[in-house]
Amino acid sequence: MSAVTLTALSYRFPASKQDVLRTLNWNVLEGSVNLVVGPSGAGKTTLLQCLNGIIPHFHGGSFGGDATVLGNNTRSTAPRDLAASVGTVFQDPESQFVTGTVEDEIVFTMENLAYDRQTMRLRLEETLDLMGIHHLRQRAISELSGGERQRVALAASLASRPRMLILDEPTSQLDPLAAHDILSAVERLNLDFGMTVVIAEHRLDRVLPFAENIVSIRDTELRSGATQEMLPTLDDVPPLVQFGRFHGWHPIPLTVRDARRQLRTLTDIVPHISQAHASGDRVIRIENVNFSYGNTPALHNVNLDAHAGEVIALVGRNGSGKTTLLKQIIGLLRPGDGRVLLNGESIASQPVQNIASRVGYVPQFPSAILHQESLREELAFTAKSQGKTIDPEIMTERLGIAECLDRHPLDLSGGQRQRAALAAICAAEPQVLLLDEPTRGLPGHDKAILARFIREYAAQGKLVFIATHDVEFLILCANRVLTLASGELIADGAPANVLSGSLSFSTQMNRLLGGDILTLGDAGVPDSQLS
């Protein structure tokens, strides 16, 4: 039985001249898990909005064809009336919270659907157990970390037990362990209760293992099929899939366990371990830095030297202190104890604006810094205020967003906006660049472009810090990795030393082949064979 039937579905946003989706036909079987993939800005979120009825009821625009979801035609059924059977988790959990506390949030949908108190109580307890958030039940949402909020958002959508669950990049803000927990819960609901799942996600390595079908959107068109049928046709796939393709394995491995079984057929893998980059003069020194938010410690006795030419990745679980450390370097937060030195001078007495001429900071949510009418004007604004001359075409070309130059920054997709903010900051060519989760919303191809940009930037004698959960990304550009746990620096070294064998932060290739192998290149796959 079909959960979703799209018939000649087309959609165009108001005031837009181009269709986002054009005459799409798609059939989703009830109880299946479907992964939506496509480049940044291809229309993945728009497709999901057609399934929960937000389109055509909310945004206006031109809507053609039909979408039938669990027997309801979305033209005649409002999203609120689909809520009993369709749950949605938004890309940014912050945007979907309506109440102030965890329990209130989880029961909110059930209250709207007029569940009796006993049923609500039962569902609440089950959902808290399922998501492992019993300990958070009385907490205010404003006090939760990003990962905890994502779990609460998912719990709030699951509590009413919808027949279908729509997830828009549910793991984009999560560390690997938290992402695994979330996706395991979704998988269990699918297996045990037959819940249909439609999930848009850029981190394919996380979702592919349990996706039955893939739907790919590119240039307004849709292709769909079983996972193994679709994989050979996709450009952007995780390292494990590329490794399987390179060795001609069939079926293509989706998990490290699958790959390990096929690995026996290989007789020789000659590792080509990447060499560490040379580094220059010391730029940043962090001495005995401690910091607390009120009574909650965030950094504890952090010591660190960072040099020109280094690309330093900060890894650690949600709430481990990565963003706090970046804010110490730019001076947005000041140490309780200890000091931060920039080129040998303490920044303690320097205003943020002065530090900013040498340190560029791209926050996790880039909308906070974009305020001009176009990306071109945004770059010109930075160049003017810092007294620099830049060529906007070259800068945006290097970041793969040249086509966005004359568009309004806030009309861009999440991934494009992220790179637009980076371009706006890099236009000033700061000596130190701080990036907070720069791959949020970026597909693999764009991550590779970003990694190349960062490598080239550091090669000019600059220092780059990246706070990230994306291990497959960081090994493409970082030459040093710092691990933070509960505000303490617990590991510092070359990627191979820190990441190899790590339960939480190793790469797919390392989990498969062990040793110091981290990338496909290390495993002997030539660059020309990489997608």
Partner 1 sequence: MSGGINAVAWVLWFLAMVVVPLTSRNPLYLVLVLMVAVAVLFSLPQQHGQTSAWRLFAYIGSGVATLSIGFNVLTVHAGNRQFARLPDSWPIIGGPLTINALVYGTISAIAIASVLFGAATFNSAVRHADLVRLLPGSLSRFGVAAGVALLFVPQTISASRDIYDAQRARGHHFRSLGDARAFVVPLLSTSLERALLLSEALETRGFGTSAIVRQPERRAPLASIGSALSIVLALIALGLGSYTPGILLMGFAVALALVGSNGHVRRTRFRPIEWSPRSLLVSATSAVTLLVLLFGRAVTDLHLTYDTFPTIESPQFSILAGAAIVLLVLPALVVER
What residues make contact with partner 1 under the rule CB under 8 A?
A: 52-54, 57-58, 78-84, 86-88, 90, 92, 95-101, 103-104, 107-117, 120-121, 124, 140, 142-143, 156-157, 160, 330, 332, 352-353, 356-357, 359-361, 363, 365, 367-371, 382, 385-386, 410, 424-425, 428
Neighbours of 265 (CB within 10 A): 9
When the beta carbons of 107 and 375 are compared against partner 1, the nearer one is 107
When the beta carbons of 115 and 249 are compared against partner 1, the nearer one is 115
When the beta carbons of 118 and 528 are compared against partner 1, the nearer one is 118
Contact assessment for residue 334 and residue 328, using Cβ atoms and an 8 Å cutoff: yes
When the beta carbons of 55 and 217 are compared against partner 1, the nearer one is 55
When the beta carbons of 424 and 512 are compared against partner 1, the nearer one is 424
Q: Which residue has the tokens 């079984």?
A: 261
Closest distance to partner 1 from the beta carbon of 12 (Å): 18
Range list of H helices, 431-501: 444-459, 471-477, 495-499
CA neighbor of 242 nearest in space, from 509, 505, 37: 509
| Token pair for 170 | 């549910």
Residues with Cβ within 8 Å of 435's Cβ and at least 6 positions away in sequence, in order, are 362, 422, 454, 464, 465, 466, 467, 468
| Token pair for 58 | 């909310």
Residue 107 — φ and ψ, nearest 5°?
A: -90, -5
Closest distance to partner 1 from the beta carbon of 496 (Å): 33
For helices 102-112 and 117-131, give the axis angle rounded to 10 degrees.
130
**Structural Rg of the chain based on CA atoms:** 24
When the beta carbons of 140 and 226 are compared against partner 1, the nearer one is 140
Closest distance to partner 1 from the beta carbon of 374 (Å): 13
Closest distance to partner 1 from the beta carbon of 328 (Å): 12
Range list of H helices, 52-116: 54-57, 79-82, 102-112
3-class secondary-structure state, position 476: helix
Range list of H helices, 83-219: 102-112, 117-131, 146-158, 176-193, 204-207
Contact assessment for residue 522 and residue 274, using Cβ atoms and an 8 Å cutoff: yes
When the beta carbons of 165 and 450 are compared against partner 1, the nearer one is 165
When the beta carbons of 119 and 460 are compared against partner 1, the nearer one is 119
When the beta carbons of 88 and 262 are compared against partner 1, the nearer one is 88
Closest distance to partner 1 from the beta carbon of 399 (Å): 17
Closest distance to partner 1 from the beta carbon of 352 (Å): 4
Closest distance to partner 1 from the beta carbon of 502 (Å): 31
When the beta carbons of 85 and 510 are compared against partner 1, the nearer one is 85
CA neighbor of 156 nearest in space, from 207, 200, 100: 100
Contact assessment for residue 102 and residue 152, using Cβ atoms and an 8 Å cutoff: yes
Contact assessment for residue 416 and residue 41, using Cβ atoms and an 8 Å cutoff: yes
Can you tell me the distance from the alpha carbon of 237 to that of 259, in angstroms, rounded to the nearest whole number? 15
Can you tell me the distance from the alpha carbon of 529 to that of 519, in angstroms, rounded to the nearest whole number? 13
What are the residues facing 223 on neighbouring strands? 216
Can you tell me the distance from the alpha carbon of 204 to that of 504, in angstroms, rounded to the nearest whole number? 17
Closest distance to partner 1 from the beta carbon of 362 (Å): 9
Closest distance to partner 1 from the beta carbon of 228 (Å): 32
Closest distance to partner 1 from the beta carbon of 164 (Å): 12
3-class secondary-structure state, position 124: helix
When the beta carbons of 244 and 360 are compared against partner 1, the nearer one is 360
| Token pair for 140 | 């205010």
What are the residues facing 314 on neighbouring strands? 467, 482
Closest distance to partner 1 from the beta carbon of 11 (Å): 15
